[in-house]
Amino acid sequence: MTGSRRPRYHKRARGSAVTKSELIDAVAEKGGMTRRRAEQTVNAIFASMAESLVRGDRIEIRGFGSFKTKHYDGYVGRNPKTGQPIDVPPKVLPVFKVGRALRERLADEE
């Protein structure tokens, strides 16, 4: 990045979402790399994480948190409009658990 160019990402209001594009811009600036290289890096990290979760592996990032999958059994639910029973199939969902260091850092921000 040249000195006259402003970063593409900016400070956001608390509670707003950071987009993938803004994350790539931040990685490029903080890592001192081109945006294209930062995009490849971010995509590789996300792809590796997704592949690990699909295999059923747990991902642990010290100081940040951990990702794992949780298996939910199927059950019989009810349609709220008609009251008819509906079979809800079993599912597997990703779960994130915040790490202690990040939890403490967030608590200090309040």
**Cα 38 to Cα 56: distance, rounded to the nearest angstrom:** 27
| Model confidence pLDDT, tens digit, residues 6-52 | 555 556 667 788 899 999 999 999 999 999 999 999 999 999 999 99
**Cα 24 to Cα 13: distance, rounded to the nearest angstrom:** 19
| Model confidence pLDDT, tens digit, residues 77-88 | 999 999 999 999
Tokens 């600036």 belong to residue: 29
Q: Which of the listed CATH numbers 3.20.20.70, 2.60.40.10, 3.90.100.10, 4.10.520.10 matches domain 59-110?
A: 4.10.520.10
Residue spans per domain, the chain = 14-57, 59-110
**Cα 13 to Cα 51: distance, rounded to the nearest angstrom:** 32
Determine the 3-state secondary structure of 62 from DSSP.
coil
